[in-house]
């Protein structure tokens, strides 16, 4: 079961993150959201340098650090940078940066325009503030405005919306990429864990990709096997299933994919991209 921040505390955090004072102290905005960073952007050789991890994470890229090399991956794009070197690799091809990445206050600083444009974003730098606009996710030729997640606990549930384009695209890609073989619907499935029937599934979360009017363009439900039975009674039952409500079709899924998607949602919340719509958890 999920643990959540009580709604009053979460609302307080969101209020701080959206305040003018917060934005002034955190002058990086991605899709209109002020992103927290303990190192401010700065100019080197007429290029805007930004902390790598905070920007890359909010552009939907995974960051891996090994020795002095940093590797960024997002979908089919892979970029490798090295501190104190203008040499970089972009999908296996050598490229040259205008400014060498460097370390400041234990943070790797990189040229913003190269990172953002590599991942298809528009960048503006004005009055010491950096704004980045990412491309919206498009599903079935419809532009997605937000991802809405709903989940339930023993007493109540939560509905929240994520409005970061890069996060939404990365999460949608994780669903599509990790779809397994088609399967029949399980005999027992619901929001709550049924501990009376072996092979029952409970719904972890419902994910709706919403259009500009708030209508669902695509919906995925993630279900996990109820493990309240001896192992021999669970033989042959997959750990995780995915229900594509738009297709009305069930698929095999994986625990790793489920956890990766939830991790992205949690990172989005930490960085100010989540809004709680309702919270009835007692």
Residue 37 vs residue 107, higher pLDDT: 107
Q: Is the pLDDT of residue 4 over 90?
A: no
Alpha helices in 18-150 (DSSP H): 20-25, 52-58, 112-118
pLDDT-derived band at 36 (thresholds 50, 70, 90) equals confident
Q: 3-class DSSP state for residue 3?
A: coil
Determine the average pLDDT of the residues in 3-17.
36
Q: Which helix (H) or strand (E) holds 15?
A: helix 7-17
Q: What is the DSSP string of 138-163?
A: EETTEE--EEEEEEE-SS-EEEEEE-
Q: Are 113 and 96 in contact (CB under 8 A)?
A: no
Q: Which two tokens stand for residue 196?
A: 């009376």
User: What pLDDT score does 40 carry?
Assistant: 80
User: What pLDDT score does 113 carry?
Assistant: 84
Q: Average pLDDT of the chain?
A: 85
User: What pLDDT score does 27 carry?
Assistant: 65
Determine the average pLDDT of the residues in 213-242.
94
User: What pLDDT score does 65 carry?
Assistant: 81
Handedness of CA 172, 224, 148, 57 (dihedral sign): negative
Q: Are 200 and 226 in contact (CB under 8 A)?
A: yes
Least confident of 88-92, 93-97, 105-109: 105-109
Handedness of CA 39, 109, 270, 129 (dihedral sign): positive
Q: Is the pLDDT of residue 147 over 90?
A: yes
User: What pLDDT score does 161 carry?
Assistant: 97
Report the predicted TM-score, pTM, of the whole model to 2 decimal places: 0.79
Determine the average pLDDT of the residues in 161-184.
94
User: What pLDDT score does 68 carry?
Assistant: 77
Tell me the β-bridge partners of 206.
150, 221
Least confident of 46-60, 148-162, 206-220, 264-278: 46-60
User: What pLDDT score does 15 carry?
Assistant: 36
Q: Which two tokens stand for residue 79?
A: 């970029």
Encode burial over 107-121: b for 16+ CB neighbours within 10 A, e otherwise: bbbbbbbbbbebbeb
* Distance of alpha carbon 145 from alpha carbon 135, whole angstroms: 11
User: 45-58 pLDDT, tens per residue?
Assistant: 888 888 888 788 88
Identify which of 4-13, 107-116, 268-277 has the greatest average pLDDT.
268-277
In percent, how much of the chain has pLDDT > 90? 50
Q: Is the pLDDT of residue 67 over 80?
A: no
Sequence-distant (≥ 6) Cβ neighbours of residue 65 within 8 angstroms:
71, 108
pLDDT-derived band at 85 (thresholds 50, 70, 90) equals very high
Residue 48 vs residue 198, higher pLDDT: 198
User: What pLDDT score does 276 carry?
Assistant: 96
User: What pLDDT score does 119 carry?
Assistant: 84
pLDDT-derived band at 223 (thresholds 50, 70, 90) equals very high
* Distance of alpha carbon 11 from alpha carbon 5, whole angstroms: 9
């Amino acid at each position: 079961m999920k643990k959540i921040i009580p709604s009053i505390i979460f609302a307080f955090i969101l209020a701080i993150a959206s305040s003018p004072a917060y934005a002034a102290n955190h002058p990086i905005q991605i899709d209109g959201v002020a992103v927290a960073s303990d190192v401010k952007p700065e100019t080197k050789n007429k290029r805007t340098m930004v902390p790598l991890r905070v920007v890359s994470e909010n552009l939907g890229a995974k960051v891996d650090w090994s020795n002095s090399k940093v590797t960024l991956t997002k979908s089919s794009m892979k970029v490798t940078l090295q501190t104190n070197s203008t040499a970089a690799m972009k999908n296996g091809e050598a490229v040259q940066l205008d400014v060498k990445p460097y370390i400041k206050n234990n943070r790797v600083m990189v040229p913003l325009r190269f990172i953002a444009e590599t991942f298809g974003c528009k960048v503006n730098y004005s009055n010491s503030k950096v704004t980045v606009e990412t491309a919206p996710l498009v599903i079935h030729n419809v532009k997605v405005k937000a991802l809405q997640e709903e989940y339930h606990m023993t007493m109540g549930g939560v509905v929240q919306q994520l409005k970061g384009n890069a996060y939404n695209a990365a999460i949608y890609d994780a669903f599509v990429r990790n779809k397994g073989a088609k399967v029949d619907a399980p005999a027992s499935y619901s929001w709550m864990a049924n501990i009376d029937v072996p092979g029952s599934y409970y719904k972890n979360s419902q994910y709706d990709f919403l259009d500009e009017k708030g209508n669902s363009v695509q919906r995925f439900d993630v279900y996990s096997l109820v493990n309240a039975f001896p192992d021999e009674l669970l033989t042959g039952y997959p750990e995780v299933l995915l229900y594509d409500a738009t297709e009305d079709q069930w698929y095999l899924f994986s625990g790793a994919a489920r956890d990766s998607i939830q991790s992205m949602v949690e990172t989005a919340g930490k960085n100010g991209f989540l809004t709680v719509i309702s919270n009835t958890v007692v």
